[in-house]
Amino acid sequence: MRVTTIHAPGDIRLEERPAPTITAPTDAVVRVVAACVCGSDLWPYRDENEITPGNPIGHEVVGVVEEVGDDVRSFAPGDFVVVPFCHSDNTCAHCRAGMTSACTHLGITSGGQAEYALVTQAEGTLVKTDGMPDDALVPSLLALSDVMATGWHAAVASRVAPGSTVAVVGDGAVGLCGVLAAREMGAERIIALSRHEPRQALAREFGATDVVAVRGKEATEAVRELTDGIGADSVLECVGNGPAMRTAFAIARPGSTVGFVGVPHGIELPVARMFGLNVGLAGGMAPVRRYLPELLEKVLSGAIDPGRVFDLELPLDEVAEAYRAMDERRAIKVLLRP
Amino acid sequence: MRVTTIHAPGDIRLEERPAPTITAPTDAVVRVVAACVCGSDLWPYRDENEITPGNPIGHEVVGVVEEVGDDVRSFAPGDFVVVPFCHSDNTCAHCRAGMTSACTHLGITSGGQAEYALVTQAEGTLVKTDGMPDDALVPSLLALSDVMATGWHAAVASRVAPGSTVAVVGDGAVGLCGVLAAREMGAERIIALSRHEPRQALAREFGATDVVAVRGKEATEAVRELTDGIGADSVLECVGNGPAMRTAFAIARPGSTVGFVGVPHGIELPVARMFGLNVGLAGGMAPVRRYLPELLEKVLSGAIDPGRVFDLELPLDEVAEAYRAMDERRAIKVLLRP
């Protein structure tokens, strides 16, 4: 099959490799209908993470079940499924507590920008639709495999409440989904920090009431002004680097929580400020499976349309261009079809 | 009047200074009935904080109102009051949100180990009893000015819930009050980390169901074993240094929250671990005034007796010995009477 691999920073290739096979009774193989490029895929692409040359890459997938292991009872070949990027048995103590991303049998989709993907712990991980979904729904369903669930997690972690004022740091696809999540949770005011006009426009369509188009200290001042000097009730940190985290803590009101979902790179947490102002930090790798039933319902009912973060669609053969487009910020997020 | 001052590490003196006077209409002067030494007073005593030689010290006070400014309407000379260590107007946006320790008119009791103490924002800060309390209640009332409210805040911040498993790092007076708070909040299992027998005994009387009498990695292993490898649902970090914080994060289950209330010294937060396991951090300087009505009721009804953390009582004249006794861990916490 064709699968995307990374060989060095900036070096993305589509190669022929054997398709995955069932090696454990808990496995499933899914034929990929759509995949995409994640902001976190850009870390190695930009030389900010170590690379094992030739490793397959990609972890966001929707598709059709091709084959299942003997212990997989709820899914059969032909089922259309959303594949959470982290695989979980959904029965261990952590899963039962809702923390599926810390499952004792945790797996991660690897090599999902491909024709086929392997899902470990398929029984506890996959969620299927009733029959084949309309093709127009595929982007929003794909968004549930990671980006929308991750934005949702940021909103949950930062305790977004009805009527509250929420600030979202980061205008990537996760940040935009965070805006959408805050709207769904009833936030009254949603301040999106974004300097890019197409992203500002989508943020507004997703529910942002205010856009702050500056960075750093200027952004802090702007949010303070918008909130009468108080700060935001909840802050979603959807980037994962030091400047974004500093801004997040600077605009969080005393007693609030910063919800963080960007894989941390070069972050030193401001513990003295956190202590003095009682600003907490919560979040991490999103427990996608936990949120999936609720989010799937919202997509199927048309309440949310997170697939709108995909502003470019390419055939899998052009995956290298997909990475370039995201790296150069020509695209918010690129959907790939094998 | 006599007031305690610090001149250098280990150099605590009782000196004659002018008594405080009303300089703002929001002030009150309180005649100190009882004061005490806080774990945080030991930081400068042990050369871990900068010292301004000759500065008054002490921030935990109960006493009798001596004089009030023109804007103080709810209190009059003769009222017995608990003085939260942080003074707040109780009307600003932060106070209204319950974050009284971030009040826009924040003040801190300074020089409370003395005959008289100044309270700024007296109207919003003080809480009085009906008439003079029984002398036997004074220690528990004094504990409400900081240590019990701080332990309570750790439990609130770490989201202690009925039926949950709680671990408390730190067997100082705050940690012990954290155990008591967890019991009041309905925790089913309370694991106290303590290597000192008198403190272990008090921890058990306050509600600890298990005591872990080792430190560092051994403590982590012990808590894991006690929790079937899962970790604690809530962790109270009641010390404020690096080793305590590392232990706290090591024993917190995925998805849980570490509540921290020890003034941070030399702490580097494990952001990668926090992200990977979704362990949050919340807490900070306790909003004492917010909790005071509830805690006062609990003390007056006999539901809690936090005054038991005082295992030594000395006249104010022996304040230097009070510091020595706490520094050498001969006493958990020392009550001072002017």
Band (pLDDT 50/70/90 cuts) for residue B126 is very high
Q: Please state whether A58 falls in left (phi above 0), alpha (psi between -120 and 50) or beta.
A: left
Whether B163 has its CB under 8 Å from any CB of chain A: the answer is no
Write the burial class of residue B1 (CB in 10 Å: 0-12 exposed, 13-18 middle, 19+ buried).
middle
Cβ–Cβ below 8 Å for B254 and A157: no
- Cβ B280–A257 below 8 Å, yes or no? yes
Predicted confidence band at B330 (pLDDT cuts at 50, 70, 90)? Answer: very high
Q: What is the pLDDT of residues B17-43, one digit of tens each?
A: 999 999 999 999 999 999 999 999 999
ipTM higher than 0.90?
yes
pLDDT at residue B145, as a whole number: 98
> Cβ separation of B284 and A268 shorter than 8 Å?
no
Residue with tokens 């709820």: A74
Could you tell me which chain A residue has the CA closest to the CA of B253? A94
User: Domains plus CATH for chain A?
Assistant: 2-146+287-337 (3.90.180.10), 150-283 (3.40.50.720)
Answer yes or no: are the C-beta atoms of B30 and B64 closer than 8 Å: yes
User: Does A260 contact chain B (CB < 8 Å)?
Assistant: yes
Instruction: Using the structure block, give the residue that is written with the tokens 């005393």.
Output: A254
B157 in contact with A at a CB cutoff of 8 Å?
yes
Average pLDDT, chain B: 97
CB of B161 within 8 Å of a chain A CB? The answer is: no
Spatial separation of the C-alpha atoms in residues A288 and A294, rounded to whole Å: 11
A161 touches chain B (CB under 8 A): no
B11 class by beta-carbon count within 10 Å (0-12 exposed, 13-18 middle, 19+ buried): middle
- How would you classify the pairing of strands B165-169 and B11-16? unpaired
The alpha carbon of residue A166 is apart from the nearest alpha carbon of chain B, in Å, by 15
Probe site for chain A from B99, B234, B256, B275 (most A CB atoms < 10 A): B275
Mutation for A interface: B49, B230, B245, B278, most A CBs within 10 A: B278
Alpha-carbon gap, residue B208 to B204, rounded angstroms: 4
Assigned token pair, B11: 């150099």
Biggest CA–CA distance in chain B, Å, is 60
Return the H-helix or E-strand segment holding B140.
helix B138-143
Q: What tokens were used for B13?
A: 């003196």
CB proximity A267 to B under 8 Å: yes
Percentage with pLDDT > 90 across chain B:
100
Check: pTM over 0.90? Answer yes or no. Answer: yes
pLDDT, averaged per 10 consecutive residues of chain A (338 residues), comes to 98 98 98 97 94 97 98 98 98 98 97 98 98 97 98 98 98 98 98 96 98 96 98 97 97 98 94 97 98 98 98 98 96 98
Alpha carbon of A104: minimum distance to chain B alpha carbons (Å) = 10
Exposed / middle / buried, residue A86 (Cβ in 10 Å: 0-12, 13-18, 19+): buried
